[in-house]
Structure 1
Amino acid sequence: MAEDTKFLLLFLLLSSSSLCFGSEQDIQCPRFVQQSVIDPLGVLKSSWNFGYATDGYICVFTGVECWHGGEHRVLSLRLDNLGLEGPFPQGLQNCTSLNILDLSNNIFSGPIPSGIAQQIPYVISPDLSYNNFSSEIPESMANLAYLNTSNLQHNQLGGQIPERFSMLGRLTSFNVVENLLSGPIPTFAQDFSPLYFAGNRDLCGAPLDECPRNRRWRLKPIGLRRINDESSIGAAVGFVLGFVVAFYFHLFCCQRTLPCVFRA
């Protein structure tokens, strides 16, 4: 209940604040985004024209939605399916009241920024799905206090899911299908479908299969047995070689001493 009240107060604050809350800073947000991404289809280049001086002109940009049409306060950036490339877009922290970020179905690559919570602190539903984001899911992403849904499916993300995600009580959807994740799944407040975690070969724990117990312990006997086997083989080979050498040494000595004994 306290979290819901907190979010409601934030929503009212953002929706009722004056133009100065966003204004010029929010204009810089799409400007930096445009400069930081590769736009081979020219969608942003052709539709994001910063030469206007009228109030709210960025609100008619492709994929940009404002809280109110006559002011520069960006509510959402929906840049899905635009063929955009490059690393995670820069300048998003200038969108001072951004709630929704959709970068899905593009060709973005590289890591998700470690400081993503500082860049999009009020975002409730980041959609980074169907890209080529790699490295690990940053732990700071769990600092997005108002996170409702998180779509990270169909990327190249590896490592473990940070345990701190289990502390996000508002989280109703967490989709990481078809990545390279491993290790135990955090104990979320909500019960998620196993379909949200499919396609990660080394993920385990509810709602998937139970994580193997004593996985490291089970590997040790195999290693010791292999070492013992190799030691036994080495000892046997050494014994045979020693026997052969000793036999030929003894035979050689006998051949040299027998004539002497006979002459005596």
Structure 2
Amino acid sequence: MLLKSQTQMVLNARALVLLHILVWSLPDTFSQSSSILSDISCLKSIRDSLEDPLNHIATSWTFNSSTEDSICWYVGVICGYTFENRVRGVHLANMGLKGKFPSGLVDCNELISLDLSGNVISGSIPHDINEILSNLEVLELSNNNLSGEIPSSMGDCFTMKVVKLNNNKLSGQIPQQLNENLEVLELSNNKLSGEIPSSMGNCSNLEVVKLC
């Protein structure tokens, strides 16, 4: 039988082990909470920056639930559950949304797919699109009212595989430097001019091209 002092030593040792486990787990907990808050900030920015006359977003993106994964059930939001419920896709095609390209998307830093096609998004594509959507693989902005030039930084979106910008009012030239990982590039029915960039020949994975 253990003496009282020995029993106390065992309890103290166990308490010390539990304390170490708690301390080491705190950074991950804080990191996860911070990531979720970042995604929430991103979605709130989209909701607040776009007019939603048909109330597709307004009735779903309420941010009332206290559970961290509640945003994964919002209309048009796709989460990757292997990524701690992070927002991986925002698909809001054909919802009658109006406004400028939402710069708050920068807070969705695990986003790989964005589809805002078939809306009334106007203005220009941000010049720092490569920083706003640094991990994006699929960008669909076709059938909107976008104008101005395609930013040269689009060539620095190294993860981008699909780019659909057709049926807008984009002008100027196709960027000279294109991402070599591109598989689909659709730019038809815009006001583009100039020559097709020679860098397109380096896009060995390019299977679908629509420029005219």
Bin for the TM-score computed over the shorter chain: 0.7 to 0.9
Whether the 8 Å contact between 1:63 and 1:79 is mirrored in structure 2 is yes
Aligned with residue 194 of structure 2, among 183, 193, 199: 183
1:25 aligns with 2:30: no
**Matching residue's letter, 1:179:** N
Q: TM-score, normalised by structure 2?
A: 0.79
- 2:139 aligned with 1:120: no
8 A contact 2:185–2:208 mirrored in 1: no
* TM-score (structure 1 length as normaliser): 0.64
| Partner-residue secondary structure (3-state), 2:121 | strand
Q: Quick one: which amino acid aligns to residue 184 of structure 1? A: E
Percent identity of equivalent pairs: 36
Contact 1:99 1:125 in 2 (8 A): yes
CA apart distance, 1:80: 0.5
Give, in whole Å, the separation in 1 of the partners of 2:42 and 2:180: 29
Check if 1:85 corresponds to 2:102. no
Q: Distance in 2 between matches of 1:67 and 1:184?
A: 40
Q: Name the structure 2 match of 1:9.
A: none
Question: What is the SS of the residue equivalent to 2:43?
Answer: helix
Q: Aligned partners of 1:79 and 1:194: how far apart in 2?
A: 23
2:117 and 2:92 map into 1 onto residues whose CA distance is 7
d(CA) in 2 for partners of 1:109 and 1:42? Answer: 19
Alpha-carbon deviations, 1:112-137, whole Å to 9, x = none?
11111111100011001000100000
Corresponding position of 1:153: 166
- Greater CA deviation, 67-76 or 96-105? 67-76
1:196 equivalenced with 2:207 (yes/no): no
Question: 2:114 aligned with 1:110, yes or no?
Answer: no
- Which structure shows the bigger proportion of residues in helix conformation? 1
Partner of residue 169 from structure 1, selected from 174, 180, 200: 180
Preserved CA contact (<8 Å) 1:93 1:118: yes
Number of equivalenced pairs: 179
CA shift, 1:163, in A, is: 0.2
Which residue of 142, 148, 162 corresponds with 2:155? 142
Report the residue type matching 1:162 in the other structure: P
Q: What SS does structure 1 have at the residue aligned with 2:177? A: helix
The answer to whether the Cα contact below 8 Å between 1:26 and 1:72 also exists between their aligned partners in 2 is: no
Unaligned runs of 5+ in 2: 1-30
Distance 1:45 1:70, change over 3 A: farther
Is the strand fraction higher in 1 or 2?
2
Counterpart code for 2:101 = F
SS of aligned partner of 1:153? coil
Pair member with larger Rg: 1
